[in-house]
Structure 1
Amino acid sequence: MTPTPFAEPTPRAPRRRRGVLVATAVAVAVAALGACSSEPADPATQPATDGSGHDVGVQLFQWTWDAIAAECTDDLGPAGYAWVLTSPPQEHVLGGQWWTAYQPVSYLLESRLGTREQFAAMVATCHDAGVDVRVDAVVNHMTGQDEPGTGWAGSSYEHYEYPGIWTYDDFHHCGLSTSDDIVSYFDRAQVQTCELVNLADLATETAPVRERLSAYLQDLVSLGVDGLRIDAAKHMAADDIAAILAPLTKGDADDGADLAIMQEVIRGSAEPISPDEYLGNGQVYEFTYGKELKGVIAGSPGLALELGDATARYVPSDDAVVFVENHDTERNGSTLSYQDGTDDALATVLMLAGAYGTPQVYSGYSFTDTDAGPQQLDDGEVVDATCGGDPRPGADLKDGAWVCQHRWPQVAGMVGWRGVVGDAPVVDTWSEGDAVALGRGQRGFVVVNFGDDELRTTLTTSLPDGSYCDVLAGGEDCTKVTVEDGRVDVVVPAGAALAWDVADRV
């Protein structure tokens, strides 16, 4: 960044990213110094130590188990990520497309992403790095193939016959449309008993189906899995999901109470099924957030400060998992994606800066064909993800290259920033033109410039007076600003963001 009268680079020790452990260490050190002074330090001006900001997850889409294990150790743990979401681990149909992973053949933990043993080793490794593991669980359906076939691990199957697991009577045959597929999303019975694009729909209201699905999920939990993303939850009755989850046990809990549950329930205008009816089971993905974030950034970024406030369009914050994009929405265009470059990174900065919902960062691979799967060997095994030396938005990537959005400096820096601010309230909000700023109590402040021109202004902040380093720079030098009498002069380049927190005072 070019030095300016308001942004002075100052050498500092290399510190690429900071997680919750760094924030805690700083807080302890500051508290020790405060104990030697005449006046104890104000806790509101110190980094959070209760872990309230240590809540960010990352979806490593189609990453192998070995690659996730390495990433937990090398990056996710040190950066301060709280959990990682894996792709479905069960046996699936053969084929190179990404969606083959969402067509189960059996509940063997054998897939093109790795073996059962590799999966278990990954969970243990991530736990050692301080990162929880959550799994994408496909329990609504089996395959969508009309012709018989053989799955990844050698299991034979037909559309409604899965030897030793399911037979014809274990599936819905709704008879509500000529194809048995969902035709109208305004008909609850169709959505929850007809087939989603020909995928054989399990009769989850029946006891045998519930028991077998519970056994599959319990197997995952027995390997140490900390949470589940319930794929296509909208296509099952909320009571069915509750019954499937009820028998699960984790650790000393006898009711699965400490198992994180995230349900995919896409909100549709005037549709009879809403995310709210699933809240008794756990959190839901609030798709409205990502869709509206894309719109306000394209129009008036200042409106992003209001996202999550409208009770008619959003579930309560504690019940929501929010995201800028996921593997479906980056392909259907309903949200931003890596192809939006800087806008995608800055939108993620705003999501992580705000107080609404539990944030999930996305990290996938580049593509031009929306069906294309990840890079694979000749036998179909997925190639281990590699991020290279300097992942950044707008990079020129070949199809299949790993984008590694979770390592972008703006994103990784904000994960550490969020760990410092914890649950401090949103304060000092400001917007003008294409620029937005907000603070989190007396612990942190962020300013984002979506515009094409440099932003120079003076802002009011609740940060304690002093000098601060920008935590989003991603380098070894400190881009410094000074807060005096609660005011700070800022210079933000076009398409950039700056963030400061009380763990990075000079």
Structure 2
Amino acid sequence: MTHLVRRAAAALAGLALLTLSGCAGDPPDPATRPATDGSGHDVGVQLFSWTWDAIADECTSTLGPAGYAWVLTSPPQEHVLGEPWWTAYQPVSYELESRLGTREQLSAMIATCHEAGVDVRVDAVVNHMTGQDAPGTGWAGSSYEHYAYPGLWAPDDFHHCGLTANDDIAVYLDRAQVQTCELLNLADLDTGNPQVRERLTAYLQDLLSLGVDGFRIDAAKHIAADDLAAILAPLPDDVAIMQEVIRGSAEPITPQEYVPLGQVYEFTYGKELAGMLAGSPGLALELGQAAARYVPSDDAIVFVENHDTERNGSTLSYQDGPTDALASVLMLAGAYGTPQVYSGYAFTDTDTGPRQDADGRVLDATCVADPAPTTPVTDGDWVCQHRWPQVAGMVGWRGVAGDAPVVDTGPRATRSLWVGVGVRSSSSTPVTTSWSRR
């Protein structure tokens, strides 16, 4: 038997019955959630490429009632024009105008989500600007050149590393290249420059003025930890920080360097979880426990997939159907890290962006009435993984379990697993969610 300890010790009270080929499940009785002390209310969801209006509606209709604690949005700043999803990750200015909505719509969404009990965290691109060699005009009409953004940045505000033939990163074992050369031709900001730091801080503070609760720092690995610390230092202490630092074999830059600044995404978790599901799913509950290759649990954001990994094949994706759902179930049942559920759209071409109107505005996301891992989807359809009954049910289950310990696990039937957690309130009502083979 496996013994996993959380912060509180108590007797057995709930069971989650999990199978490798799970196809069906029901959320726990809403009357039993969330935990009265909020200890299990920690799950976030990345609504990738969702518009501000659609997120507002989802906070009210689904996220709040299901027990999600926070939502992560796509980048909100002005960006280059084009259909692909990655245009959002090439800033032109820090005006809060994008194909996902206006500043006013963003502000209204934040207020609506707060009313529903859901915090809002924003994907912040502060490492670089565009990767376009030719001059252009951004979404909100701002003109730009690769290293010149009128009223914002001049050529001297960028790193020009001079370490490779084209200034692009060539060797990830070289710290200087990773943090001063360009990632795929993206103009790399000189974050060691005090004026650059101040302007980036001002962008984050502008978002905070609208009520944003935290940030995902995109490409944090490509910003020296000391530089990022200086950018974040003026922000209030209660702002949630989640940093994208991808661990690489033998690379000198590690997630541990960034832990003093906030939480980091533990990419190793999703990669190893995918491999475990083919053999011993019970071991997934131990992922991250006392492992030197992981950051401490309190410092980790864990995920099954995100917008990058579902495209590069390093983790599971919606295309794995029930296995993808099971991975999320195990993540939500486990004790390691803060879980982030992912929800995106179907695609064949990995560059393809979300569905847009004739003017390039992203269309509001719509979910079918009862989305499930086996629901057929075609390119552009919103998959709505966060609404899958297995996933939404486990968000509620986690909310009831709170900090109660996982006291035991064991086999229940062929290719199945049960998880028992300790009592965390005076209620003796068991919370049971099951998935059966079909």
- Asked if Structure 1 and Structure 2 have the same fold, meaning a TM-score greater than 0.5 normalized by the shorter chain, the answer is yes
Of 236, 247, 256 in structure 2, the residue corresponding to residue 267 of structure 1 is: 247
- 2:369 aligned counterpart, secondary structure: coil
1:494 Cα deviation (Å)? Answer: 2.0
Cα contact 2:27–2:390 (8 A) shared by 1: no
Of 80, 94, 100 in structure 1, the residue corresponding to residue 87 of structure 2 is: 100
What is the distance in 1 between the residues matched to 2:122 and 2:431? 36
What is the distance in 2 between the residues matched to 1:218 and 1:281? 17
1:470 Cα deviation (Å)? Answer: 3.8
What is the distance in 1 between the residues matched to 2:94 and 2:294? 34
Aligned residue runs from structure 1 range 306-325, under 5 A = 306-325=286-305
Higher relative contact order (CA 8 A, sep 6+): 2
- What amino acid is the match of 1:275? P
Residue 165 (1) aligns with residue 152 (2): yes
State percent identity of aligned pairs. 76
Partner of 2:353: 373
- 1:161 aligned counterpart, secondary structure: coil
Residue 65 (1) aligns with residue 52 (2): yes
- What amino acid is the match of 1:341? G
Cα contact 1:96–1:380 (8 A) shared by 2: yes
What is the distance in 1 between the residues matched to 2:44 and 2:436? 29
RMSD: 2.0
For normalisation by structure 1, the TM-score amounts to 0.79
When the two structures are aligned, how many residues end up with a matched partner? 413
Of 250, 260, 265 in structure 2, the residue corresponding to residue 285 of structure 1 is: 265
1:48 Cα deviation (Å)? Answer: 3.3
Cα contact 2:28–2:432 (8 A) shared by 1: no
What is the distance in 2 between the residues matched to 1:374 and 1:66? 15
Cα contact 1:171–1:203 (8 A) shared by 2: yes
Partner of 1:23: 32
Partner of 1:398: 378
What is the distance in 1 between the residues matched to 2:346 and 2:219? 24
1:471 Cα deviation (Å)? Answer: 4.0
Radius of gyration: which is bigger?
1
Of 471, 481, 493 in structure 1, the residue corresponding to residue 436 of structure 2 is: 493
Partner of 1:437: 418
Distance 1:62 1:368, change over 3 A: same
What is the distance in 1 between the residues matched to 2:289 and 2:433? 28
What is the distance in 1 between the residues matched to 2:209 and 2:424? 39
Deviations 1:120-141 (A, max 9, x none): 0000000000000000000000
Residue 236 (1) aligns with residue 245 (2): no
Partner of 1:148: 135
Partner of 1:411: 391
For normalisation by structure 2, the TM-score amounts to 0.91
1:303 Cα deviation (Å)? Answer: 2.2
- 1:298 aligned counterpart, secondary structure: coil
Point out 4+ residue stretches in structure 1 off by more than 6 angstroms.
Answer: none
Deviations 1:58-107 (A, max 9, x none): 00000000000000001100000000000000000000000000000000
Partner of 1:476: none
Of 122, 127, 133 in structure 1, the residue corresponding to residue 120 of structure 2 is: 133
What is the distance in 2 between the residues matched to 1:434 and 1:149? 55
What is the distance in 2 between the residues matched to 1:222 and 1:23? 35
Of 312, 315, 326 in structure 2, the residue corresponding to residue 346 of structure 1 is: 326
- What amino acid is the match of 1:96? E
Cα contact 1:17–1:78 (8 A) shared by 2: no
- What amino acid is the match of 1:368? T
- What amino acid is the match of 1:284? V
Deviations 1:416-465 (A, max 9, x none): 11110001111112248632322222369xxxxxxxxxxxxxxxxxx96x
What is the distance in 2 between the residues matched to 1:290 and 1:433? 24
Of 81, 103, 112 in structure 2, the residue corresponding to residue 116 of structure 1 is: 103
- What amino acid is the match of 1:378? A
Cα contact 1:181–1:194 (8 A) shared by 2: yes
Cα contact 2:346–2:383 (8 A) shared by 1: yes
- What amino acid is the match of 2:266? E
Cα contact 1:339–1:394 (8 A) shared by 2: no
Residue 427 (1) aligns with residue 407 (2): yes
- 1:346 aligned counterpart, secondary structure: helix
